[in-house]
Amino acid sequence: MEILEKKSILVTGGAGFIGHHLCRKLLEKDVNLTIYDNLSTGRIENVKDLPKPVKFVKGDVGNLETLENSVRQVDVIFHLAAQVSVPYSMENPVEDFKSNAYGTLNILELARKRDARVVYTSSAAVYGKPAKLPTPEDSPLKPISFYGLSKLVGEKYCNTYMEKYGLDASIMRIANAYGPRCRGVIADYITKIRKNPNKLEIIGSGMQSRDFVHVSDVVEALILLATSKEALGQTFNVGFGKTMTVVDLAKILLKMLKLEETVVTTTSKSWEGDLDIIWLDISKAREKLKWTPKTSIEEGLKNLINAERLL
């Protein structure tokens, strides 16, 4: 983290969930921070609520010219901007490609021109149906959604830029991040319970299993990917290293909220591209980066429920 002191940093997708927490952490140091985001799913409050004022540029990663104009000098780029919805990607593969694959190519081009180091946030979705559990980084990459495919294309571009141009980059495959301001299954549960605490409908069979990792642990790993020599040119899984069905997650959450009487139902069908299981092997990040996730799901949910800003 000391290495980042006085550095010029660009966070794409900084108005989003993980981006907000990353920027908060970066601002603990004296950094020159720019957030670049098209606010498609991100929120301007996530920028305004930061402890210090930062430069915010509203723009799309599909537009290289706006990107280039947003930062004259940049040392590190955390590339988080992405279309993140699997169902949306199945309905709109072209839009998904533009944000995730083409957008990443533009970021790499910017990094090449500015000689910046890049941290690219990929996803466990690149593995598709896992060949091995827990899934290590060298497992086959067979995405089953356009989202997983476009994130994988972004990875491939990162690898080729490293190989051909000597670009400094690292890739992080994130499992299921959660915490204050999150989206996804936990946000879905909380929104539904707020509307009607007597009933909770889970989309799908409820037996889909996920590897939930707290956003503070993800942020710590992101900083390590941007600062550690060991991370250069490498790809790391970042999860908690455990898996849990979404029905079990609902039970834990309801117990914490003292809502054990709530009726939990499931729908027979999930959405196209939904994975049965995510469970990442995180031993590479443990060994090479000395990173270890610290927040258990119980602690993380407690922290979320008590957060000033839940969603």
Ligand X SMILES: NC(=O)c1ccc[n+]([C@@H]2O[C@H](COP(=O)([O-])OP(=O)(O)OC[C@H]3O[C@@H](n4cnc5c(N)ncnc54)[C@H](O)[C@@H]3O)[C@@H](O)[C@H]2O)c1
Give the residue, chosen from 8, 34, 38, 104, that forms a contact with ligand X under the rule CB under 6 A.
38
- CB closer to ligand X, 18 vs 254: 18
* Minimum distance of ligand X from residue 271's CB (angstroms): 16
**Ranges within 170-209 binding ligand X (CB under 6 A):** 174, 176-177, 183-184
Start-to-end Cα distance in the chain = 28
Rule CB under 6 A: choose which of 9, 26, 33, 61 binds ligand X. 61
Task: Provide the b/e sequence for 224-258 (b: ≥16 CB within 10 Å).
Answer: bbbbbebbeebbbbbbbbbbbbbbebbbebbeeee
Task: Compose the 132-161 pattern: x for residues touching ligand X by CB under 6 A, - for all others.
Answer: -------------------x----------
Active-site annotation holds for 161:
no
* Binding string, residues 263-282; x marks residues near ligand X by CB under 6 A: --------------------
Minimum separation from the CB atom of position 5 to ligand X (A): 25
Q: Does 42 bind ligand X (CB under 6 A)?
A: yes
- 23, 34, 37, 171: which one binds ligand X (CB under 6 A): 37
CB 52 within 8 A of CB 73: no
Site size for ligand X (CB under 6 A): 30
The side-by-side arrangement of strands in the sheet containing 76-79 is 55-58, 32-37, 8-12, 76-79, 117-123, 169-174, 235-238
Q: Which CB, 184 or 197, lies closer to ligand X?
A: 184
Give the dihedral sign, CA 69/9/225/4.
positive
Cβ nearer to ligand X, comparing 8 with 150: 150
x/- map, 9-28, ligand X, by CB under 6 A: ----x-xxxxx---------
Look at the alpha carbons of 59, 60, 66, 72 in this order and tell me if their dihedral is positive or negative: positive
Catalytic residue among 102, 147, 178, 189: 147
Conformation bin of residue 117: beta by default, left when phi > 0, alpha when psi is -120 to 50: beta
Name which of residues 118 to 137 contact ligand X (CB under 6 A).
Answer: 121, 123
> Least distance to ligand X from the beta carbon of 156, Å?
15
Lay out the site mask for ligand X across 69-88 (x = CB under 6 A, - = otherwise).
Answer: -----------xxxxx----
Contact call for residues 24 and 224 (beta carbons, < 8 A) = no
In the bound state with ligand X, the residue whose beta carbon lies nearer, of 14 and 196, is: 14
Return phi, psi of residue 287, to 5°. Answer: -75, -50
Please state, in angstroms and rounded to a whole number, the distance separating the CA atoms of residues 187 and 256: 15
Residue ranges that bind ligand X, judged by CB under 6 A: 13, 15-19, 37-42, 60-62, 80-84, 99, 103, 121, 123, 151, 174, 176-177, 183-184
Q: Enumerate the active-site residues.
A: 147
